[in-house]
Amino acid sequence: MVKFHDPRGEIATEIDLYELSKDISANDGEGITVGLLANGFPDSELFLTKVDNALRERLPKVSTKLWNKRNAAIVVSDEMLAEINSSCQVAIAAYGH
């Protein structure tokens, strides 16, 4: 099982609660495609592969798609963003170190 370390310190400001627009846990993720966007830093794609594995273990019917913009110094291209937006209901962006 993958364990993730939460690097955040103590919260100094009041938490602003919000509601998610999608409940990906309903029906074990059936009908949901999660887009995983690596920003191009080393290990960002590896990290998202591990997130993918953890998602699939928890939600066996969820689908995932992985993108890597390959260069952390640039913004995601309009074409890639449109592809993610058109094929995914949820997106996760991550960076490596």
pLDDT of residue 76: 92
pLDDT digits (tens, 9 = 90+) for 58-71: 999 999 999 999 99
Q: 13-41 pLDDT, tens per residue?
A: 888 888 888 888 888 999 999 999 999 88
Which is higher by pLDDT, 45 or 10? 45
CB 88 within 8 A of CB 57: no
Residue 53 has pLDDT above 70, yes or no: yes
> pTM for the complete prediction?
0.76
For residue 8, the model assigns a pLDDT of 80
